[in-house]
Amino acid sequence: MERVIFNEDHHAFRASAKEYCDRSLVPRMEQFLEEKTVDRAAWLEAGKQGFLGLDVPEEYGGSSVGDYRFNAVFAEEVSKVSASLSSCFGIHFDCCAPYIVDLGTEEQKQRWLPKFCSGEYVAAIAMTEPSGGSDLAALKTSAKKADGGWVVNGSKTFITNGDMADLVIVAARTDPAKGAKGITLFVIEEGMEGFARGRKLDKVGQAESGTSELFFEDVFVGADNVLGEVDRGFIHMMERLAQERVGAAVSNIAQATQILAETIDYVKQRKAFGQPVGSFQYNKFLVAELVTKAEVTQAYVDNAIVAHDEDRLSAVDAAKVKWWSAHVQNEILDACVQLHGGYGYMNEYRVARAWRDARVTKIWAGSNEIMKELIGRDLGL
């Protein structure tokens, strides 16, 4: 079915995003996979083309388009190339930008955002801890008051862009007695004494995303690197999780739809018993079901995109669209692997990589189980 949420400006922007992907990302995928990171050249080119500052005001180097649909378009085009790359860029321009733009002081914005938009700085957000998972209120990384700032100790894990981030938004406990109301956000920068990166984590999929452990040992963070209000970090995070989750949904269905289209081409050409694999009734019915599920889910995600753009997407609705899109994405990709037969299990085939890359979407940005818990609570259960 035709999607109706985009206008001519969005279509023109999509063409530019696709051109960037085709020129700067697609030819280098093997390099990114081998190095387990997206190198600076790709970031700088994205910055040069204006893709990293969509939520950033013009005075700080961005374009301040004020229309979330542009964010969605860029995320979709990158997701068609690789879910892993979409997570890298998404964390930077779609997740971290609102924190700095909404919560940063004028001095912080002037200091960080121009290089954030140009790709000279790469950003990450560090919430998850080795013992915490989805329970953000239980984090153990601490920040204690010191002359002129704070001293941060602790560790974070599963941090996308962690291997190369110049700016890391870190959630730390500043008042243990207050529980969730005693958490503060800090921006820890490359080169701060005591800030160290661990190994690049050996993941099942998404090798390119530079996912790393981060360690903080007596890191002095000046008061001018506190982001937002002291002890209101948990609230700041909750207020911005809706964008992270709708962004995840956008990428989920875009990746699944792209691989499904490639699979349909494959089953039209691949023959067994003298006829195309796709012509067998079971496979034909299966593909019909997958296409319908993809289109229904796309319509649901599109509705969430518009709702978020109009500032009416609730946290519960964001949870719904996040878990459902991840569920359908994994269902579609598992079927696509099956339709490829033995070749679907070969790393040289995109469907195999996509299948691996997608599995984490039911875990990150709040696990699907946590999403259902939020929805259930909202229903009074």
Q: Where are the CATH 1.20.140.10 domain residues in the chain?
A: 234-379
Q: Dihedral sign, CA of 104, 133, 381, 304?
A: positive
Q: Which residue has the tokens 């938004």?
A: 169
- The reply to whether 244 belongs to the active site is yes
Of 214, 158, 160, 161, residue with least CA distance to 188? 214
Of 339, 198, 365, 212, residue with least CA distance to 278? 339
Which of the 8 DSSP states describes residue 21? I
Q: Where are the CATH 1.10.540.10 domain residues in the chain?
A: 8-121
Residue 379 has pLDDT above 80, yes or no: yes
Provide the residue type at 180 as one letter.
A
Angle, vertex CA 14, rays to CA 11 and CA 19, nearest 5: 135
The four Cα atoms 151, 157, 159, 163 give a dihedral, to 10 degrees, of 80
Classify 121 as helix, strand or coil: coil
Select 8-121's CATH number: 3.90.100.10, 2.40.50.100, 1.10.540.10, 3.40.50.300.
1.10.540.10
Domain covering 234-379, topology:
Butyryl-CoA Dehydrogenase, subunit A; domain 3 (1.20.140)
CATH number of 125-230: 2.40.110.10
Classify 236 as helix, strand or coil: helix
pLDDT tens-digit map of 245-255: 999 999 999 99
pLDDT tens-digit map of 4-52: 999 999 999 999 999 999 999 999 999 999 999 999 999 999 999 999 9
pLDDT tens-digit map of 63-118: 988 999 999 999 999 999 999 999 999 999 999 999 999 999 999 999 999 999 99
What pLDDT does residue 134 have?
65
Catalytic residue selected from 189, 229, 244, 310: 244
* Distance set, CA 59 to CA 30, 48, 53, 65, 263 (Å): 37, 16, 11, 13, 45
Q: Dihedral sign, CA of 71, 74, 80, 83?
A: negative
Q: Which residue has the tokens 């696509």?
A: 336
